[in-house]
């Protein structure tokens, strides 16, 4: 162990002594006595250089490639104390409890990291970089789908949850519990009411189809398809206070490129919006214009607006000609809209265009609204709706007060970004990205400060920093939660074996 | 019976089994064994270890996957596997105190395992087990090792020994269920049988009542163990169906509605036969004639069963050799293999051969010299019907420059049947052609953690470092060219690999002479005259002065003079005299046979020796393009 500086931190002597004690008890490496000083920052994986992180995040372990040994010295920027860490194979692995002590003492400030590497017996010291600790925490859990970057097969698919304050990962539901044969069971569109898991849902398709809904902690299994709906309910959003879920219902098509490395085009040849009243088991149509493909409903946190995206498309011969649509897939571009909602009468107002992406020859999808209702974060790509397959897809944030987009260049990359959302305190933006290798989707977080500035994002930390480099499955559709899911996988499994309840009634739109 | 005879016999048995196993594994099935390892998957990362260890039998899976790698050199893999079987034989013989003269019976489960490797046929393409070859032999060995009656060697009284044996039944199952899966339960069963068979029948504690009591006690402990251990140990897992814990690790041959029990028989034998090993210990050596008669019958039956179950279909083996040949760019070997086939070929063989011809620039000059008469793959007991998309679609797509479709098929297979070295190589190659260097790096990083693919990864690394080298490499030159020259379309293959490629390329107009020959060849295969003439025009445009390839000349004559395609002026074409002569002779002969009243099939057969290598014969006799 090495405690280089001995000035006690402002956090108090308690923290200081605790750090010393912890360091004394663990095998911290020594700093090299002689080294060559480099003028550059180190190249580390994942790239945590200059990132801003929440004060409750798990240790940001990292590695340095092609070195024989590595030591990182983490210290308070004001130099009050420092700790050293190393690990096997170029890894820097940080003790969890020490890390949390460090974050607690550096909350709202910065940590400085100096990396020393050894190659062929010679040590080098790199220019220190900062890790900024925000004052605001992030919701402690994230759930996501884990699957190979597949296209139509669903043999191996699970929804998992990860405790962001450490590395614990548990399974919410795994289709291996139930699937037979090679068709598999698709599970998708998990969502929560207000980041809590007492009201949550996800769909099951193919084998044992239906929608799993947890309503006030009680598990129900529903067949959300009626004769009036064009398909079973799909993309969804829980109303923040009422037992209502908004869904899009849609006809999905998937085609493959022969040369484009975007590989896949996913299209909707028709889509509408509905809401489902969980307590009364009733469906109500919200929007069903055949020339409008409405998708990705999302409630505002005050529950007075339903945001969504829609593409305008009129078929030549007035029937759903998928061949025609396939030939014109690049013309299918989505704008962002919202529609007011009166919870007293359960009625909706008229659609209001809030962002004209088509006018910019772009397509905006997956809107999510910040807690204060001021910002809308969404994914924008060249066309279509599955932007994780579009190289130029980026995350954008619309300021509803000014009607302008914020500068989101800090969080975007040259590879696809998609599926953004806000944390419950709106200080963190969660999104998925393929920036690592272009093919495997990973979860990233970015700090969104009170001045509306976006900070450099960071990848969800892994205990073994090489994990995501070697992992051959994607983490897709991440959702933040305040707590873990309480229903066990076994309970979901047993429920899935039962016949799903049919919708009791349908109300058509006015 | 003399002891020396017995000693000689046990070595003779071993030798006999070694010869038998070597014959079936290496001599007859080296290509299958190589294929099985190539569709296997092991790497030294903690991720792979953790993946294996999350389900019962994890240690067997990890070790099995590791050892299966060694079939990269089939002789080495065969030696290791046979070595393990011989070790298992000696262990069983020693553990159960089997006399030499009866010991050949111990080879029965090993023969069943041998059978399980060579009987698979086309199931090799859809096996989910990346550790198939070694998983079960290791499981059997582990079960026998754990059932060695160690308590009999302890310096304690007989009663305590019996109690230890009884306690060992639940302990062995509970301790080893997760590492060994169903084989830990097998160990528990063998221990129970061992305990019962060794319990004194005569002597001071004998008596029917005591025996029954003891039998009841051991039986109850065993049943409780078999029921409770899997149930309790898998209670929290989400990785398997609740009906699976008791037989986790047992290989079932199920695919949707299909269930081939015949392929499972060896695994039933592996689980049942060792249970009677403890009873074999009671057989004495006195009756040499009887024992040796039974041993001979066993050996003959073993050979007969292995011969009967060995999947010897020529096309099945040829496909695997051709796939490997294409992967390794051994075009001459692929064509030699194609030329050797006597009967009809599978569509996959046709496509693999065409890839070799494309790479040699001979698609339009030599394609019809090879047999294009097609059959569906022959399957084991008609249990599965595979299509190219289930077999080597990614390899074929890659070689036609259709890297996105190749990736799709590779990933779909990973989803269904797990990652493999083959798939990882294919994904790497596609990523390189697509210019997805970070992705290629990722795959190479993982391949670098394997035992035998490391070299390949090192070899390929140069293309990541300098992608310009690809254009000069035999592996990438043609796929890269076809990728660049091919048109961008959006669609799907509906699992018709051949048709997708042919349809795309027959419409593709390119100025690259090599790619254009592919387009021209595809138009001929599709028998689309409009596309054919467009491609002929394009060939003429970009190959000014160069004669048309032989088959193109044949097709031109045939389409204009026989099928009367209108508006084509052939006066500018310089035909090879021999092509014209053969064309005329073909139709003279055809009319002659037709005049004799022969039917189409008879005419086709009669024309084949002389004209079977022409486009006309292919067009007239094979009629429709068969695709799979």
Better-predicted residue by pLDDT, B239 or B541: B541
The SS3 of residue B452 is: coil
Over residues A143-161, the pLDDT tens digits come to 999 988 776 777 789 999 9
| CA B459 – CA B428 distance, rounded (Å) | 12
* Alpha-carbon distance values, B430 to B57, B356, B422, B440, B609 (Å): 34, 19, 12, 8, 41
A192 and A112 housed in the same domain:
no
A38 and A174 housed in the same domain:
no
pLDDT score for A504: 84
pLDDT band at B258 (very low <50, low <70, confident <90, very high): confident
What is the distance, to the nearest Å, from the Cα of residue B224 to the centroid of all Cα atoms in its chain? Answer: 39
Would B600 be classed as within a structural domain? Answer: no
Nearest CA in chain A to B490: A257
Residues contacting A51, CB < 8 A, separation 6+:
A60, A131, A132, A455, A456, A457, A458
CA distance A470 to chain B (A): 6
The three-point CA angle A463-A466-A467 to 5° equals: 65
Over residues B220-232, the pLDDT tens digits come to 999 999 999 999 9
Stretch 384-403 of chain B: residues touching chain A, C-beta under 8 Å: 402
Over residues B431-490, the pLDDT tens digits come to 999 999 999 999 999 999 999 999 999 999 999 999 999 999 999 999 999 999 998 888
A279 and A304 housed in the same domain:
yes
Nearest CA in chain B to A173: B238
Tokens of B266: 């060896």
A247 and A361 housed in the same domain:
yes
Q: Is B416 on the interface with A (CB under 8 A)?
A: yes
Strands A91-92 and A62-63: antiparallel
CA distance B272 to chain A (A): 27
- Of the candidates A480, A355, A485, which has an alpha carbon nearest to the alpha carbon of residue A426? A480
pLDDT band at B206 (very low <50, low <70, confident <90, very high): low
Q: Domain holding A394: CATH number?
A: 2.120.10.30
pLDDT above 90 (res B526) = yes
A162 and A19 housed in the same domain:
no
Whether A242 and A275 have beta carbons less than 8 Å apart is answered as: no
Q: What is the number of structural domains in chain B?
A: 2
Total count of residues recorded for chain A: 510
Q: Is B256 on the interface with A (CB under 8 A)?
A: yes
Whether B438 and A437 have beta carbons less than 8 Å apart is answered as: yes
The complex's ipTM works out to 0.91
Whether A132 and A94 have beta carbons less than 8 Å apart is answered as: no
Q: Of the candidates A174, A261, A329, which has its C-beta nearest B436's C-beta?
A: A261
Tokens of A248: 């899009």
pLDDT score for A1: 32
Name the average pLDDT for chain A: 91
pLDDT band at B205 (very low <50, low <70, confident <90, very high): low
- The residue from B293, B309, B325 where one domain ends is B309
Better-predicted residue by pLDDT, A91 or B258: A91
Would B16 be classed as within a structural domain? Answer: yes
- Radius of gyration from C-alpha coordinates of chain A: 24
- The residue from B485, B510, B537 where one domain ends is B485
Structural domain that includes position A459: 141-501
pLDDT above 70 (res A10) = no
pLDDT score for A149: 79
Would B497 be classed as within a structural domain? Answer: no
A42 and A182 housed in the same domain:
no
* Alpha-carbon distance values, B57 to A213, A285, B129, B139, B167 (Å): 35, 51, 12, 8, 22
Residue A156 and residue B487: Cβ atoms within 8 Å?
no
Number of Cβ within 10 Å of residue A318's Cβ equals: 9
Q: Of the candidates B257, B407, B445, which has its C-beta nearest A470's C-beta?
A: B445
* Residue numbers in A near B414 (CB within 8 A): 148, 150, 472
The H or E element spanning position A325 is helix A322-327
| CA B443 – CA B47 distance, rounded (Å) | 14
pLDDT score for A23: 52
Would B561 be classed as within a structural domain? Answer: no
pLDDT above 60 (res A508) = no
A129 and A145 housed in the same domain:
no
| CA A348 – CA A308 distance, rounded (Å) | 13
B294 and B375 housed in the same domain:
no
* Residue numbers in A near B486 (CB within 8 A): 258-259
| CA B355 – CA B362 distance, rounded (Å) | 10
- The residue from A116, A133, A150 where one domain ends is A133
* Residue numbers in A near B412 (CB within 8 A): 150-153
Whether B447 and B425 have beta carbons less than 8 Å apart is answered as: yes
B385 and B295 housed in the same domain:
no
**Given phi > 0 = left and psi -120 to 50 = alpha, else beta, which region is B381?**
left
- The residue from B485, B516, B534 where one domain ends is B485
What mean pLDDT is predicted for residues B383-410? 91
Q: What's the 3-state SS for B309-333?
A: HCCCCHHHHHHHHHHHHHHCCCHHH
Whether A126 and A20 have beta carbons less than 8 Å apart is answered as: no
* Residue numbers in B near A158 (CB within 8 A): 238
| CA B84 – CA B88 distance, rounded (Å) | 6
pLDDT score for A113: 96
| CA A39 – CA B116 distance, rounded (Å) | 62
* Alpha-carbon distance values, B100 to B1, B3, B140, B273 (Å): 11, 9, 21, 18
| CA A479 – CA A420 distance, rounded (Å) | 9
| CA B469 – CA B462 distance, rounded (Å) | 8
Q: Is B258 on the interface with A (CB under 8 A)?
A: no
For residue A465, the cross-strand partners are: none
- The residue from A114, A133, A152 where one domain ends is A133
pTM over 0.90: yes
The H or E element spanning position B254 is strand B254-255
A82 and A101 housed in the same domain:
yes
- Of the candidates A10, A11, A133, A135, which has an alpha carbon nearest to the alpha carbon of residue A74? A133
What mean pLDDT is predicted for residues B128-155? 93
CA distance A277 to chain B (A): 31
A202 and A238 housed in the same domain:
yes
pLDDT score for B432: 97
Structural domain that includes position B146: 3-309
Tokens of A395: 């995350």
| CA A306 – CA A275 distance, rounded (Å) | 10
pLDDT above 70 (res B2) = no
pLDDT above 50 (res A12) = no
Tokens of B246: 């008791």
- Radius of gyration from C-alpha coordinates of chain B: 31
Q: Of the candidates A258, A263, A265, which has its C-beta nearest B486's C-beta?
A: A258
Is there a cis peptide before residue A4, judged by omega within 30 degrees of 0?
no
Would A5 be classed as within a structural domain? Answer: no
Is there a cis peptide before residue B307, judged by omega within 30 degrees of 0?
no
């Amino acid at each position: 162990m090495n405690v280089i500086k001995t000035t006690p931190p402002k956090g108090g002597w308690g923290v200081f002594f605790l750090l010393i004690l912890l360091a004394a008890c663990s095998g911290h490496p020594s700093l090299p006595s002689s080294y060559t000083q480099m003028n550059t920052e180190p190249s580390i994986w994942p790239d945590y250089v200059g990132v801003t992180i929440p004060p409750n995040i798990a240790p940001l372990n990292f590695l340095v490639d092609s070195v024989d040994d590595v030591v990182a010295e983490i210290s308070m920027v004001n130099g009050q104390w420092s700790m050293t860490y190393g690990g096997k194979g170029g890894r820097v692995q940080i003790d969890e409890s020490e890390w949390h002590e460090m974050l607690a003492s550096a909350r709202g400030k910065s940590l400085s990291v100096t990396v020393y590497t050894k190659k062929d017996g010679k040590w080098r010291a790199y220019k220190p970089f900062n890790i900024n600790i925000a004052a605001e925490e992030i919701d402690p859990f994230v759930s996501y789908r884990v699957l190979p970057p597949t296209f139509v097969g669903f043999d191996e698919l699970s929804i998992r949850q990860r405790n962001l304050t450490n590395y614990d990962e548990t399974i919410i539901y795994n289709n291996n519990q139930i699937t037979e044969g090679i068709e598999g069971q698709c599970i998708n569109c998990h969502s929560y009411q207000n980041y809590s898991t007492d009201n949550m849902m996800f769909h099951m398709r193919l084998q044992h189809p239906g929608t799993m809904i947890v309503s006030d902690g009680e598990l129900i299994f529903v067949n959300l398809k009626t004769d009036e709906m064009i398909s079973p309910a799909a993309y969804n959003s829980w109303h923040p206070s009422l037992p209502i879920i908004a869904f899009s219902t849609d006809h999905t098509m998937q085609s493959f490129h022969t040369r484009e490395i975007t590989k896949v085009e996913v299209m909707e040849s028709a889509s509408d919006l509905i809401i489902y009243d969980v307590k009364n088991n009733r469906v109500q149509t919200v929007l069903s214009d055949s020339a409008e493909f409405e998708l990705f409903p999302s409630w505002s946190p005050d529950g007075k607006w339903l945001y969504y995206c829609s593409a305008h498309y009129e078929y030549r011969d007035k029937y759903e000609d998928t061949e025609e649509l396939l030939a014109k897939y690049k013309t299918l571009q989505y704008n962002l809209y919202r529609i007011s909602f009166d919870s007293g009468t359960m009625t909706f107002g008229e659609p209001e265009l809030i962002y004209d992406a088509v006018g910019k020859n772009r397509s905006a999808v997956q809107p999510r609204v910040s807690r204060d209702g001021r910002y809308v974060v969404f994914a924008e790509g060249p066309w279509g709706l599955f932007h994780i397959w579009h190289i130029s897809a980026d995350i954008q944030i619309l300021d509803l007060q000014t009607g302008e987009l914020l500068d989101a260049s800090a969080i975007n990359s040259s590879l696809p970004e998609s599926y953004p959302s806000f944390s419950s305190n709106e200080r963190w933006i969660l999104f998925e990205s393929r920036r690592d290798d272009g093919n495997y989707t990973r979860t990233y977080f970015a700090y969104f400060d009170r001045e509306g500035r976006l900070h450099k994002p960071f990848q969800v930390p892994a205990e073994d920093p090489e994990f995501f480099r070697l992992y051959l499955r994607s983490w897709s559709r991440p959702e933040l939660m305040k707590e873990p899911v309480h229903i066990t996988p076994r309970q979901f499994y047993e429920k899935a074996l039962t016949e799903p309840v049919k919708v009791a009634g349908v109300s058509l739109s006015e | 019976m003399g002891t020396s005879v017995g000693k000689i016999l046990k070595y003779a048995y071993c030798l006999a089994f070694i010869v038998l196993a070597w014959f079936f594994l290496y001599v007859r099935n080296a290509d299958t064994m190589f294929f099985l390892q190539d569709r296997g998957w092991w790497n030294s990362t903690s991720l792979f270890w953790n993946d294996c260890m999350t389900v019962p039998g994890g240690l067997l899976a990890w070790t099995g996957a590791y050892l299966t790698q060694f079939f990269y050199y089939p002789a080495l893999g065969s030696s290791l596997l046979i070595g393990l079987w011989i070790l298992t034989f000696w262990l069983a013989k020693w553990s159960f105190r089997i006399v030499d003269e009866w010991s050949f019976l111990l080879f029965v489960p090993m023969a069943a395992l041998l059978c399980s490797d060579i009987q698979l046929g086309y199931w090799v393409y859809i096996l989910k087990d990346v550790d198939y070859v070694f998983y079960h032999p290791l499981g059997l060995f582990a079960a026998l090792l754990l059932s060695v009656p160690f308590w009999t060697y302890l310096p304690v009284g007989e009663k305590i020994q019996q109690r230890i044996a009884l306690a060992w039944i639940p302990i062995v199952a509970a301790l080893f269920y997760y590492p060994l899966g169903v084989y830990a339960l097998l160990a528990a069963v063998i221990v129970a049988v061992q305990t019962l068979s060794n319990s004194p029948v005569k002597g001071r504690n004998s008596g029917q009542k005591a025996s029954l009591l003891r039998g009841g006690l051991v039986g109850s402990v065993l049943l409780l163990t078999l029921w409770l251990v899997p149930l309790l140990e898998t209670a929290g897992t989400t990785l398997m169906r609740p009906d699976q814990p008791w037989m986790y690790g047992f290989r079932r041959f199920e695919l949707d509605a299909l269930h081939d029990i015949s392929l499972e028989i060896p695994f039933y034998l592996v689980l049942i036969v060792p249970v009677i090993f403890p009873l074999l210990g009671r057989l004495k050596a006195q009756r040499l004639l009887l024992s040796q008669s039974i041993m001979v019958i066993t050996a003959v039956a073993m050979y007969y069963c292995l011969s009967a179950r060995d999947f010897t279909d020529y096309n099945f083996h040829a496909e695997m050799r051709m796939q490997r040949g294409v992967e390794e760019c051994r075009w001459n070997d692929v064509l030699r293999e194609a030329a050797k086939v006597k009967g009809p070929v599978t569509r996959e063989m046709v496509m693999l051969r065409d890839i070799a011809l494309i790479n040699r620039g001979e698609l339009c000059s030599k394609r019809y010299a090879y047999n294009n008469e097609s059959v569906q793959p022959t399957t084991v007991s008609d249990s599965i019907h595979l299509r190219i998309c289930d077999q080597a679609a990614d390899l074929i797509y890659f070689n036609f420059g259709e890297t996105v479709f190749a990736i799709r098929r590779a990933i779909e297979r990973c989803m269904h049947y797990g990652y493999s070295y083959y798939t990882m190589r294919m994904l790497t190659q596609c990523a390189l052609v697509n210019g997805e260097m970070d992705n290629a790096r990722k795959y190479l990083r993982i391949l670098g953690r394997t035992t035998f693919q490391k070299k390949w990864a090192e070899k390929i690394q140069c293309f990541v470092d300098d992608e310009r080298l690809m254009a000069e490499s035999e592996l990438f030159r043609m796929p890269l060219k076809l990728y660049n020259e091919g048109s961008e379309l959006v669609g799907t293959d509906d699992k018709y690999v051949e048709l997708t490629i042919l349809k795309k390329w027959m419409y593709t107009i390119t100025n690259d002479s090599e790619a254009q020959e592919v387009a021209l060849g595809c138009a001929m295969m599709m028998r689309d005259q409009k596309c054919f003439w467009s491609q002929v025009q394009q060939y003429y445009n970009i190959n000014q002065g160069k004669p048309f390839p032989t088959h193109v000349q044949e097709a031109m004559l045939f389409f204009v003079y026989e099928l009367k395609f209108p508006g084509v002026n052939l006066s500018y074409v310089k035909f090879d005299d021999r092509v014209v002569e053969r064309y005329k002779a073909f139709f003279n002969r055809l009319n002659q046979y037709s005049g004799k009243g022969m039917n189409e099939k008879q005419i086709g057969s009669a024309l084949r020796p002389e004209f079977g290598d022409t486009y006309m014969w292919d067009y007239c006799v094979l009629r429709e393009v068969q695709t799979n």
